[in-house]
Amino acid sequence: MVELFGFTTEMKDASAAREVVGTPNYPRKAFLKTTFKCLLLLSLLTIPIGFILVPFPSPLSRYQMYKRSADGPAKFQKALPLPRNDPLRLSTQHNMIYPGNYHFILDDTELCRSIHPYLVLIVPVAPGNWKARDAIRRTWGNETHIQGELIQTVFLLGIPNSGNIEVLQRKVRTENRLYHDLIQSDFIDSYHNLTIKTMVIMDWLASRCPMVPYAMKIDSDMFLNVENLVSMLKTPGTPTTIYITGRLKNESPVVREKDSQWYVSEDSYRENEFPTYAVGMGYIFSLDMPRRLVEISKRVTPFYVEDAYIGVCMKTLGIDFTPPPERNHFRLYMFEFNRCQLAKSICAILKTPAQLINYWTSLKGPGPAC
């Protein structure tokens, strides 16, 4: 609005100037004045128009991301440019992602203080994404007692990186007073800081919940079948230590195109393929793993691709991922409701929080047995 008002004022001035151009007294001066005002007007105009035509790059939705990666590396190279001043790109400082450098500014959940669950579901989510948190609380986040085990869900947030930060922060604190399930650390919450977020999650789990048997890092756009997850964990033979499982990705090529969302420099990671890693949408681990990962991260050069980074940490630790009993338990995405597939899977990527509520309601409602 401010620009608009400035713009109309300028218009009036410019037309007033146009009237004086013809007067004999100071034609040259008036002409220069008009030219100057026109230029000023033009530059004022280009700013708002520029914003409309060239919006700031916004992180791709995960759907686009997986769609692109499913299309093969050749097609997904022109994604986001990386922010030029980003420390992860400029330096190989391990410091950047070492979670000990950040502080929890919101951390009053009873989880692991007075509540000792069997499984912690920890969800990295942007501070402003209350819709996703709301949908999770109404669906799988509310499944707290399964097969005699206690399950608890918490959300991990960084500091908002845009918008009215004070207002957003106040909303976050109000939400937390209601649910006591938000944990907030003081790193800047942005797409390119996901590796920091994951390491902060590992740090929180290692320091707060070392006695819990299992945890899952699960993204906020996921469907989760908690019943099937608990069944898998309780199956005899499932490791109780040195265990990470999920949708495993093997021999994934490292993207070297600087424009790409997945660009990793040779300084950060030299090989042309990543070691096996579990796709970041959701992976499950025994609670001895977070401490190991935080410790080894001091020696593993950071890069943005958080799930591949965990893969490199695991390789450095000399620990293999455990394949899930069935690969189809971890579905990349499911944009059409499929009752039987949901009933048999552990997790799947969805499009929107509304879709999560829809699928959940349909699955819990009456329907054919699968």
Ligand X SMILES: *[C@@H]1O[C@H](CO)[C@@H](O)[C@H](O)[C@H]1NC(C)=O
Q: Report the residue from 98, 140, 187, 330 that binds ligand X according to the rule CB under 6 A.
A: 187
Binding mask 188-227 for ligand X (x = CB under 6 A): x-x-xx--x-------------------------------
**Piece of 6-14, 109-117, 134-142, 272-280 that binds ligand X (CB under 6 A):** 134-142
With a CB cutoff of 8 Å and minimum separation 6, the contacts of 302 are 88, 92, 93, 94, 96, 97, 195, 268, 309
Q: Report the residue from 92, 161, 338, 355 that binds ligand X according to the rule CB under 6 A.
A: 161
| Number of shown-chain residues binding ligand X (CB under 6 A) | 12
Let me know: does 58 contact 49? Beta carbons within 8 Å.
Answer: no
Q: Is 142 in the site for ligand X (CB under 6 A)?
A: yes
Q: How far is the CB of 127 from ligand X (least distance, A)?
A: 13
Q: Report the residue from 30, 105, 106, 138 that binds ligand X according to the rule CB under 6 A.
A: 138
The long-range contacts involving 160-163, CB below 8 angstroms and separated by at least 24 positions, are: 160/126, 160/127, 160/128, 160/189, 161/188, 161/189, 161/190, 163/128
- Burial environment of residue 367 by CB neighbours within 10 A (0 to 12, 13 to 18, 19 or more): exposed
E strand spans, the chain: 104-107, 119-124, 145-146, 149-159, 182-188, 214-218, 222-224, 244-249, 277-286, 330-333, 347-349
β-strands 330-333, 347-349 pairing: parallel
Chain residues 77-106 in contact with ligand X, contact rule CB under 6 A: 83, 86
C-alpha to C-alpha distance for 184 and 165, rounded to whole angstroms? 14
Cβ distance to ligand X smaller for residue 196 or 224: 196
β-strands 104-107, 277-286 pairing: unpaired
The token pair that represents 211 in the structure block: 């006695």
Let me know: does 79 contact 68? Beta carbons within 8 Å.
Answer: yes
Cβ distance to ligand X smaller for residue 10 or 86: 86
Q: How far is the CB of 101 from ligand X (least distance, A)?
A: 8
**Piece of 22-30, 62-70, 184-192, 214-222 that binds ligand X (CB under 6 A):** 184-192
Q: How far is the CB of 142 from ligand X (least distance, A)?
A: 4
Cβ distance to ligand X smaller for residue 157 or 248: 157
**Piece of 31-39, 186-194, 242-250, 340-348 that binds ligand X (CB under 6 A):** 186-194
The token pair that represents 66 in the structure block: 């997986």
Q: How far is the CB of 180 from ligand X (least distance, A)?
A: 13
C-alpha to C-alpha distance for 192 and 90, rounded to whole angstroms? 13
**Among residues 202, 221, 200, 187, which one has the least CA distance to residue 59?**
221
Q: How far is the CB of 248 from ligand X (least distance, A)?
A: 28
Q: Report the residue from 137, 256, 292, 339 that binds ligand X according to the rule CB under 6 A.
A: 137
**Piece of 35-43, 182-190, 238-246, 341-349 that binds ligand X (CB under 6 A):** 182-190
Cβ distance to ligand X smaller for residue 230 or 248: 230
**Among residues 344, 349, 370, which one has the least CA distance to residue 232?**
344
Helix or strand or coil: residue 74?
helix
Q: How far is the CB of 159 from ligand X (least distance, A)?
A: 7
**Piece of 13-21, 59-67, 185-193, 246-254 that binds ligand X (CB under 6 A):** 185-193
Q: Is 169 in the site for ligand X (CB under 6 A)?
A: no
C-alpha to C-alpha distance for 126 and 183, rounded to whole angstroms? 12
Residue nearest to ligand X (CB): 190
Helix or strand or coil: residue 224?
strand
Residues at the site binding ligand X, with contacts judged by CB under 6 A: 83, 86, 137-138, 142, 161, 187-188, 190, 192-193, 196
